[in-house]
C-alpha cells in the first residue's frame, strides 16, 4: 500500500515545466523533484495548496492511493 504522486502527468496536461512550477510555488526544484519521483515522505498542506493553486487542480489529481500497485477507487 502506498501513495503515488502523479505530478508529472498534471504538469504535462498543463504544459508546465518543473522549473516553472518551482518558481511559481516557491519550492526548490530539488524538493519538487523529490515529490515528483515519489521519494517524498510527507507533503505540507501549504505546499499542496500552492501546487493545486498554480496547477488549478485538486489534491486528488496529484496524489493517489494504491494497494499493491492497484489504484483504489470510491466504488471499490
Partner 1 sequence: MIRAIGKGSLASILAVGLHIVRVIVWIAFAGLSAALIAIPLIPPFAEWVAHVDGASIEGDIGVDAGDFVEVLRHFISFGVALYVVERLLELLKTLRFGSPFVKENARRFRNVGVALLIGELSKIAIWILAAIFDADVDADLDFMAFVSIAAVLVLAEVFREGARMKEEQDLTV
User: Does the footprint of partner 1 cover residue 27 (CB under 8 A)?
Assistant: yes
Distance between CA atoms of residues 5 and 43, nearest Å: 11
SS3 17: coil
Size of the site for partner 1 (CB under 8 A): 12
From the number of C-beta atoms within 10 Å of its C-beta (0-12, 13-18, 19+), residue 44 rates as exposed
* Among the listed residues 47, 57, 61, 63, the single contact to partner 1 using CB under 8 A: 47
Range in contact with partner 1 (rule: CB under 8 A) among 13-21, 28-36, 58-66, 67-75: 28-36
Please report whether residue 57 would count as binding partner 1 according to CB under 8 A.
Answer: no
Amino acid at each position: 500500500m502506498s501513495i503515488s504522486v502523479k505530478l508529472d502527468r498534471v504538469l504535462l496536461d498543463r504544459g508546465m515545466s518543473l522549473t516553472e512550477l518551482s518558481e511559481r510555488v516557491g519550492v526548490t526544484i530539488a524538493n519538487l523533484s523529490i515529490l515528483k519521483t515519489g521519494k517524498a515522505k510527507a507533503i505540507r498542506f501549504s505546499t499542496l495548496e500552492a501546487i493545486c493553486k498554480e496547477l488549478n487542480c485538486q489534491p486528488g489529481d496529484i496524489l493517489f492511493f494504491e494497494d499493491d500497485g492497484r489504484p483504489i477507487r470510491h466504488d471499490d
